[in-house]
Structure 1
Amino acid sequence: MNHPEWARRTFLKRAGQGLASLPLLSALPAMLEAKTPAKSSAKNHIESVLPKPVVKLNVRDFGAVGDGKTKDTLALQQTLDRCSLLGGGEVFVPAGEYLTGALVLRSNTLLRLDGDASLLGSPDVADYPLTQVRWEGRWIKGYIGFISAMDAENIGIVGKGKIVGNTAIKGRVERATQFRNPALLEFVSCRNVRVEDCFTSQNDMWSIHPTYCENITFKNVTVHSGADGIDVDSCKHVVIDGCDFDTHDDCISLKSGRGEEGYTILRPTEDVQISNCTFMDHFWACIGIGSETSGGIRNVRVNHCKCLGARTFAIYIKSRPGRGAFIEDISMNDLEVSGAKQGFLRFNILDSGKQDEFPVPGEEGIPTIRNFHFSNIRVTDMPVLVDGVGIHPSKPLEGFSLTNVTGTCGKGISLANIKHAVVRDIKVTGFTGPLLSAHNVTGTGLNGAATLDAAKVPEPVPVPAQPYMLH
């Protein structure tokens, strides 16, 4: 849905930039072919006769030892660099345990892991150079990811091997310096990224963190993490399919920046498809949207997933005044939900997450939310089916549907400040109290709803004395 304010801001910020997206990476030879510029007819004739070379390099040939003790950083990075400089191709990591510091993928390079190969992160934080990193919606000084790429295209990590962060690096932020600790996989401003079949294990920091990326696919990846699993941050055209999560914070979190910095940059997360995944979380939610939403989040589709455990709600949509922007067009269908300690679904657009040092002021800072749809949901012993009261009355949720829900729950549905709601075919048992309670809600399927008291609304964010400028 178009919004004049977003369109105006986006035009001013993006004028002159191309928005056409590239097709998803499917095979390395094809992507190498796609990047080849037009040449003379003679050169084209030669190339039509001779097959295009695709480099295949083995890290052992460049000195990698793989004994789990020797640092193989130089050998691994030299192999990756050489592959890209020779035009692109595949870097193969055979069986072994490769202890290494940070590695950087270059364009047109596929890193293939043997099923018995493990990349083990160094315990020494000095092996991860400092750079600018995105952390909780702001760009700050921090340590580069264990495996990372910046401004690269046509890259991938495939194979059934393991990528393991080092537990010696504690916490998400280094206590003495406040530098952000290394993510496990981190892609920044990349196009056509593929991560497939591998097993990942991370310590206390976010595990997989694409930022400002376009056309990125995670397929059949096992994600074990002491924090978040996959944080999609200001990215477009994202596919997460067939992945298995066991995390200690959100299994998947969708983000787009925090406060005036994120709102000024205005890069949304959009066109995200999540399907056929299994989620087990031990601290927060299976899927979290927010709370860093200042660039906007839209067009999210979740289908055919199993939520087997969550410390809070299985699905948690969250933001607060001071973020600005929007969350819209969220659709979830065919979910099995069990083991969530607080319930199936919660909206909290009133006070989730830390307030930014430079929040978006006034009514403009209250996120616009619209078109949230949930269908064909099967729940088992949910303490609460839906907690949907945390919505600001100045900007109600426009468009909400909850249809065809079956199973068992302790309490029913609470809704507030919603326009055009549709509640239909709710066939749950075991609850106490009313099935549906509402305050300031219009729509269909609301007959007989119990009356709720209005929720407390936070104080407005004041307008600063000086307008915000990026710095």
Structure 2
Amino acid sequence: MTPLPRRTFLKTSAAAAVGLPWIANEAQHAKASSATSKPSGVTIHAREMGATGDGKTKDTLALQQSLDRCSLLGGGEVILSTGEYLSGALQLHSNTTLRIEEGATLTGSPDMQDYPLAQVRWEGKFIKGYSAFINAVDASNIRITGPGRIIGSSAIVGRLEKGTRMRLPALIEFTNCRNVTVDNIFTKQFGMWSIHPLLSDNVTFRNVTIESGADGIDPDSCRNMVIDNCIFRTVDDCIAIKSGRGSEAYRMARPSENIHISNCTFTDARWACVSIGSEASGGVRNVVVEHCKILSAYTHGVYIKTRSGRGAFIEDITFRDIEVSGCREGFLRLNSLGSGLQDQDPVPGDEGLPQLRNLRFTDIRVNDVPQLLLATEIHPKKPLDGLVLANISGTCRKGMEIANATHVDIRNVTVTGFNGPLLATKNVTGKGLAGAVELPASALPKVPDEILPPATPYILK
């Protein structure tokens, strides 16, 4: 069969995602329910395989043999009973559940030699790096469940190893996996991303507490994901939805899509609570965030970000029934001009200008946010197409600034306490714009220079 051209494929897929959002969400929940059912098969107690659980002896071999044996015998459960299990990197296989019981803790080794080297994705690029503490590759029907604890090593801090610049271990990482569940467990990571699902399908996080010295959960080129009833206490982004960076990810064309986030509580100490991008060269679409509380954000509660040279799209994004407080800079920022590192192989020309489309924010309650909306960092060649702000109440110190946008729909925004105009715009069309003042030129960011085609066209290899 002749494959569809890339542009045709993306247009067709996007139309399907827009037309059937509720069917997609219902399918996610149905899959999630089936993935959390208790597996049949063998039950292996790690202590019977030689694990000590004394917190001093490295139990890596006994734990890995338990996981290997479980898979080889057709699947089932590996159980960690009360104790502290010190271990290097562990790999889960298909049809396997890792159950960490009450009073049990799985703790990461402080020694780098206990984490094998592999191809990992870091800031949107595949590079040489260390395997995650708990990882799975090309696996299906896997589960990590509690109510115990998974704790990374406090001796491994930072994100890249000094000297080699290799990525340090994530806490949990699933690569090219299907039907994954993490539930009813406490996790703690230190300097590196905590949980990183990559190129995976049908992934559920439910009733998970995530404490992290960096990001919490970073869905990366994943589809059909549920994040429900989770508590985030992170230094960097609580959730950061990504899909790769530059021409490498653009050629792969693996978007993050059909992601449903609900009933979560977010506390962030350095960046944003929910971020989309800036590594979004594969595209992001059909994301719903609802019934959540943003308690603290160092910058913005929600930050949708990308840049020239990324290409692709961020579209069909819905936030509804969100309580927002404790934000240092504001509730919402939209930026398609210049967020994140420029790739060494950016997507050139107008094709490399990302498109923001169909962003909806409804039933939002803000408490003393410095600014309600900052949306001036939009490329005039690719205006934001479709922005709904409806039923927004509470208090803010500054209103909304929007530039280069079409099909804007502002309804029932009843915030109080702000200084200056509620709405300031430049090159904006739509509904609910009456009374807006014009943004001065000084309030508009510089548009980046055009990215020229390279002398040698990029080839994915």
Settle same-fold status: TM greater than 0.5.
Answer: yes
Q: Secondary structure at the match of 1:76?
A: helix
Q: Secondary structure at the match of 1:203?
A: coil
Cα distance in structure 1, aligned partners of 2:400 and 2:145:
43
Kindly indicate whether residue 62 of structure 2 is the aligned counterpart of residue 81 of structure 1.
Answer: no
- 2:99 and 2:144 in contact (8 A); partners too: yes
Instruction: Kindly provide the amino acid, as one letter, of the partner of residue 456 in structure 2.
Output: Q
**1:79-124 residue CA offsets vs partner (Å, 9 max, x unmatched):** 0110010000011110100000000000000111111100000000
State the percentage of identical aligned residues: 58
Q: Secondary structure at the match of 2:67?
A: helix
Q: Secondary structure at the match of 1:261?
A: helix
Q: Secondary structure at the match of 1:442?
A: strand
Instruction: Kindly provide the amino acid, as one letter, of the partner of residue 212 in structure 1.
Output: L
Instruction: Kindly provide the amino acid, as one letter, of the partner of residue 281 in structure 2.
Output: S
Per the alignment, residue 7 of structure 2 pairs with 6
- 1:10 and 1:266 in contact (8 A); partners too: no
**1:131-152 residue CA offsets vs partner (Å, 9 max, x unmatched):** 0001000100000000000000
Which of 207, 217, 220 is the matching residue for 1:230? 217
Per the alignment, residue 177 of structure 1 pairs with 164
Per the alignment, residue 395 of structure 2 pairs with 408
Distance apart, 1:10 and its partner CA: 9.3
CA shift in 2, pair 1:29/1:205, >3 Å:
closer
**1:371-426 residue CA offsets vs partner (Å, 9 max, x unmatched):** 00000000001000000111110000111010111111000000111101011111
- 1:282 and 1:310 in contact (8 A); partners too: yes
Distance apart, 1:160 and its partner CA: 1.1
**1:211-240 residue CA offsets vs partner (Å, 9 max, x unmatched):** 000000000100000000000000000000
CA shift in 2, pair 1:27/1:123, >3 Å:
same
CA shift in 2, pair 1:5/1:106, >3 Å:
closer
Which of 434, 448, 451 is the matching residue for 1:458? 448
Q: Secondary structure at the match of 2:251?
A: helix
CA shift in 2, pair 1:29/1:400, >3 Å:
closer
Kindly indicate whether residue 31 of structure 2 is the aligned counterpart of residue 24 of structure 1.
Answer: yes
Matching of residues 64-463 of structure 1 within 5 Å:
64-454=51-441, 455=444, 456-463=446-453
Bigger radius of gyration: 1
Q: Secondary structure at the match of 1:233?
A: coil
**1:229-271 residue CA offsets vs partner (Å, 9 max, x unmatched):** 0000000000000000000110000000100001011100000
- 1:416 and 1:441 in contact (8 A); partners too: yes
Q: Secondary structure at the match of 2:98?
A: strand
Which blocks of at least 5 consecutive residues in structure 2 are unaligned? 13-23
CA shift in 2, pair 1:434/1:164, >3 Å:
same
**1:441-463 residue CA offsets vs partner (Å, 9 max, x unmatched):** 00111011010135221111111
- 2:238 and 2:272 in contact (8 A); partners too: yes
Per the alignment, residue 42 of structure 1 pairs with none
CA shift in 2, pair 1:409/1:434, >3 Å:
same
Distance apart, 1:6 and its partner CA: 3.2
Q: If the length of structure 1 is used for normalisation, what is the TM-score?
A: 0.91
Instruction: Kindly provide the amino acid, as one letter, of the partner of residue 458 in structure 1.
Output: P
Distance apart, 1:8 and its partner CA: 4.2
Instruction: Kindly provide the amino acid, as one letter, of the partner of residue 467 in structure 1.
Output: P
**1:275-333 residue CA offsets vs partner (Å, 9 max, x unmatched):** 00000000000000000000000000000000000000000000000000111000000
- 2:82 and 2:104 in contact (8 A); partners too: yes
- 1:293 and 1:325 in contact (8 A); partners too: yes
Instruction: Kindly provide the amino acid, as one letter, of the partner of residue 402 in structure 1.
Output: L
Q: Secondary structure at the match of 2:358?
A: strand
- 1:31 and 1:108 in contact (8 A); partners too: no
Distance apart, 1:369 and its partner CA: 1.3
Per the alignment, residue 38 of structure 1 pairs with none
- 1:28 and 1:89 in contact (8 A); partners too: no
Instruction: Kindly provide the amino acid, as one letter, of the partner of residue 209 in structure 1.
Output: H
Cα distance in structure 2, aligned partners of 1:277 and 1:427:
25
- 2:35 and 2:179 in contact (8 A); partners too: no
CA shift in 2, pair 1:382/1:9, >3 Å:
closer
Instruction: Kindly provide the amino acid, as one letter, of the partner of residue 345 in structure 2.
Output: F
Instruction: Kindly provide the amino acid, as one letter, of the partner of residue 459 in structure 1.
Output: D
- 1:228 and 1:247 in contact (8 A); partners too: yes
CA shift in 2, pair 1:10/1:431, >3 Å:
closer
Q: If the length of structure 2 is used for normalisation, what is the TM-score?
A: 0.93
Cα distance in structure 2, aligned partners of 1:178 and 1:136:
13
Instruction: Kindly provide the amino acid, as one letter, of the partner of residue 193 in structure 2.
Output: W
Question: Which consecutive aligned stretches of 4+ in structure 1 deviate over 2 angstroms post-superposition?
Answer: 3-11, 20-32
Cα distance in structure 1, aligned partners of 2:131 and 2:245:
21
Instruction: Kindly provide the amino acid, as one letter, of the partner of residue 309 in structure 2.
Output: G
Cα distance in structure 1, aligned partners of 2:317 and 2:437:
27
CA shift in 2, pair 1:10/1:249, >3 Å:
same
- 1:25 and 1:154 in contact (8 A); partners too: no
Cα distance in structure 1, aligned partners of 2:410 and 2:205:
33
- 1:285 and 1:310 in contact (8 A); partners too: yes
Q: Secondary structure at the match of 2:397?
A: strand
Q: Secondary structure at the match of 2:345?
A: coil
**1:50-83 residue CA offsets vs partner (Å, 9 max, x unmatched):** xxx6111100100110010000000101001100
Instruction: Kindly provide the amino acid, as one letter, of the partner of residue 460 in structure 2.
Output: L
Instruction: Kindly provide the amino acid, as one letter, of the partner of residue 470 in structure 1.
Output: L
- 2:36 and 2:181 in contact (8 A); partners too: no
Cα distance in structure 2, aligned partners of 1:241 and 1:259:
31
Cα distance in structure 1, aligned partners of 2:162 and 2:282:
29
CA shift in 2, pair 1:29/1:327, >3 Å:
closer
Cα distance in structure 1, aligned partners of 2:427 and 2:229:
39
What RMSD over aligned residues (CA atoms) do the two structures have, in Å?
A: 1.8
Instruction: Kindly provide the amino acid, as one letter, of the partner of residue 106 in structure 1.
Output: H
